[in-house]
Amino acid sequence: MRFYFFILLLVFSGQTAIAQTNPEEGLATADLAEIDRKLNNPLTSLWSLTFQNNTSFFEGDAIDGTEYSNTFLFQPFMPFEVGATKQTMLTVRPVFPLVTQPVFDVDEPRNSYEHMTGFGDMQLLLLAGPNDGKGLIWGAGATFKFPTASDDNLGRGKYQAGPAAMAFYMGKPWTLGVLVQHWSSFAGDDSRDSVSQTDIQYVLRRSIPGAMSIGMGPTISVDWEADSDNRLTLPIGLGITKTTRWGKTPVKLRAEVHYSIISPEDFGSTWNFRLQVTPVIASPFRTNP
């Protein structure tokens, strides 16, 4: 547990130091509207640190009333230009989750008796694609989950891996796109259930004046191991994004709400409230932001 928080602190400290020691990057004077647009691209050249909080509310036949969970994510976003001509962009995005969720009494499963907080299963997304930030953008790679949860109730207990792919249209004023990740378990605790899950994040955003945008970026989730009544979560949403500066640092601020028009019958998400704070930091490998 302490090891993973140490890694998180190390990444944060290292990226902050990079931002402080590379003033030539020009982030202090870069156009905020253009930064706002670039940050919608999973293969953007911008380095950033995303702090995201999701508060979700659940209903279903397995519980009485409504339950909640909260997930705080720290996601350093680290793109690299690779290849002899630097025409390929490689994105590395680890995800460090701090999770609060209900734990159900075995004898009274319809009633939760406590909420547990701890470290969840860490994720890693690797994407590569052409280094071009305009028009149609595509990329492919791999995605992983690791059984790093501090308690069995906060993770799946399995090593998971699978393919990832994205396709985005980066236009003005519209940004449209989809990011697909699939995980299948291949090792881990033999007593835990196997995992086969697909997440599809779809993005629809329109830029508006003032370095702002409106739209949505919810995630469809399909649990292939569940029965048909509990397999699909399909949310829609709406939110607003504002890119501003805190001192000389560009920062993307986002608030978004999602409602699941389809969710698992036994225990499924109904509402999700997302808050995001994303400071943009200087890359040590580029001369322009």
Rounded to an integer, what distance in angstroms lies between the CA atom of residue 268 and that of residue 176?
27
104 forms beta bridges with 112
Domains and CATH numbers, the chain: 2-270 (2.40.128)
The amino acid that residue 197 corresponds to is Q
Rounded to an integer, what distance in angstroms lies between the CA atom of residue 184 and that of residue 143?
10
| β-pair type (122-130, 112-119) | unpaired
- Let me know if 33 is exposed, middle or buried by CB neighbors in 10 A (0-12, 13-18, 19+): middle
Rounded to an integer, what distance in angstroms lies between the CA atom of residue 104 and that of residue 236?
28
- In the block, residue with structure tokens 């739209």: 215
DSSP conformation letters of 44-57? -S-EEEEEEEEEEE
- Tens-digit pLDDT profile for the chain (289 aa)? 444 444 444 444 444 444 444 433 467 667 888 888 888 888 888 899 999 999 999 999 888 889 999 999 999 999 998 877 778 899 999 999 999 998 876 666 566 568 999 999 999 999 999 877 678 999 999 999 999 999 999 999 999 999 999 999 998 899 999 999 999 999 999 999 999 999 999 999 999 999 999 999 999 999 999 999 999 999 999 999 999 999 889 999 999 999 999 999 999 999 999 999 999 988 776 545 5
Joined tokens for residue 93: 């995005």
